[in-house]
């Protein structure tokens, strides 16, 4: 028996919304009972694509994070509503039974990731099903994965070690969204946005000139990270630990070394750090 999973490579997502449109095309006003009742024409995003601005102006990056149901192995949505209203199939797919979930709006509020929607017309909760009705008909991929032009979505059988999804799941960079919630999701991510610490180095005696190659060191209790400024004199530390205070040291031959305390805020831009001549 297959066990389905998905890897979402956030760095490959270009925000084209083809997955979102394919999901609409498959589900809006189309009956896939008993797995899914028709999705309403507006208000639902079973495959959402969330724009994310990372960093602090002016040093920001725009990313997009696709977000379907993450198919938790320990699913909070299965703990509410009547018996069998939300169930797990042997292939791992969590399904909301459109009939048993009728009249139970609490199911729509039960997902900590916010991927369940209330169909007010049908008075039932709805969400992504990995297109289980198509898989049951012999399809290999859900519509969203088939539509993605950049292979940002990888889907398949996790029990097949040769499958693309199993191989990507084995990459060191794989991670869960909110692993602290311990829901053990079958959909996992690569490239989730992390804390950024950015800034720029200038010289007091040459304020107009960019200063590439300046050594910038970031230190915390167990971390020492060293980079050099780029051709614009800017630096960017990616994937920094959340809620951690760092000390930044900037040194350049012939100039006084500077040390700066970096706050533990999410993303930090230190602006222009000015070095004075010795």
Candidates 93, 49, 89, 50; CA nearest to 70 is 93
Of 126 and 202, CB closest to ligand SF4: 126
* Shortest Cβ 44–ligand SF4 spacing (Å): 13
The 43-62 contact track toward ligand SF4, x by CB under 6 A, reads: ------x-------------
Distance in Å, CB of 132 to ligand SF4, minimum = 13
Task: State which residue, 40 or 112, has the beta carbon closest to ligand SF4.
Answer: 112
Quote the CA–CA distance of 224 and 230 in Å, as a whole number.
Answer: 19
Figure out which of the listed residues 70, 132, 141, 275 binds ligand SF4, where binding follows CB under 6 A: 70
| Residue 13 within binding range of ligand SF4, rule CB under 6 A | yes
Burial tier of 185 (Cβ tally within 10 Å: 0-12, 13-18, 19+): buried
Considering only 36, 116, 216, 250, the residue that binds ligand SF4 (CB under 6 A) is 116
Radius of gyration of the chain measured on its C-alpha atoms: 24
Which of 85, 93, 108, 115 forms a contact with ligand SF4 (CB under 6 A)? 115
Scan residues 121-140 and list those touching ligand SF4 (CB under 6 A).
127
Cβ–Cβ < 8 Å for 158, 5: yes
The H or E element spanning position 161 is none
- Taking residues 183 to 222 in sequence order and writing x for each that binds ligand SF4 by CB under 6 A, - otherwise, the string is x---------------------------------------
Using CB under 6 A as the binding rule, whether residue 113 contacts ligand SF4 is answered as yes
Q: How far apart are CA 182 and CA 175, in angstroms?
A: 12
Which of helix, strand or coil describes residue 56?
A: strand
Which of 69/141 has CB closer to ligand SF4?
A: 69
Rule CB under 6 A: choose which of 23, 94, 211, 248 binds ligand SF4: 94
Question: Nearest approach, Cβ of 218 to ligand SF4 (angstroms)?
Answer: 31
Q: Which of 6, 7, 67, 69 binds ligand SF4 (CB under 6 A)?
A: 69
The strand pairing partners of 52, in sequence order, are: 63
Buried b (16+ CB within 10 A) or exposed e, 204-229: eeeeeeebeebbbbbeeeeeebeeeb
Count of all residues that appear for the chain in the document: 278
Give the whole-angstrom CA distance, residue 167 versus residue 157: 10
- In the complex, the residues that contact ligand SF4 under the rule CB under 6 A are 13-19, 49, 64, 66, 69-72, 75-77, 94, 111, 113, 115-116, 127, 147-148, 150, 152-153, 183
């Amino acid at each position: 028996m297959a066990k389905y999973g998905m890897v979402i490579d956030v760095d490959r997502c270009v925000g084209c919304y083809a997955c979102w449109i394919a999901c609409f095309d498959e589900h809006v006003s189309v009956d896939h009972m008993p797995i899914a009742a028709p999705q309403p024409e507006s208000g639902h995003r079973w495959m959402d694509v969330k724009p994310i601005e990372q960093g602090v102006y002016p040093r920001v990056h725009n990313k997009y994070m696709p977000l379907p149901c993450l198919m938790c192995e320990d699913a909070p949505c299965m703990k509410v509503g009547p018996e069998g209203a939300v169930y797990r199939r042997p292939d791992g797919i969590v399904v909301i039974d459109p009939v048993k979930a009728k009249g139970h709006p609490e199911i729509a509020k039960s997902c900590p990731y916010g991927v369940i929607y209330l169909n007010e017309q049908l008075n039932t909760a709805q969400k992504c099903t990995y297109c289980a009705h198509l898989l049951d008909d012999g399809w290999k991929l859900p519509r969203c994965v088939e539509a993605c032009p950049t292979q940002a979505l990888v889907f398949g059988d996790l029990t097949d070690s040769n499958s693309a999804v199993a191989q990507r799941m084995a990459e060191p960079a794989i991670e869960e969204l909110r692993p602290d919630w311990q829901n053990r999701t079958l959909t996992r991510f690569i490239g989730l946005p992390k804390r950024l610490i950015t800034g720029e180095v200038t010289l007091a005696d040459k304020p107009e000139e960019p200063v590439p190659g300046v050594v910038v060191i970031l230190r915390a209790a167990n971390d020492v990270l060293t980079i050099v400024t780029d051709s614009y004199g800017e630096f960017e530390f990616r994937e920094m630990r959340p809620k951690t205070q760092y000390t930044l040291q900037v040194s350049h031959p012939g100039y006084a070394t500077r040390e700066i305390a970096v706050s533990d805020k999410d993303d930090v831009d230190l602006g222009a750090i000015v070095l004075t001549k010795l």
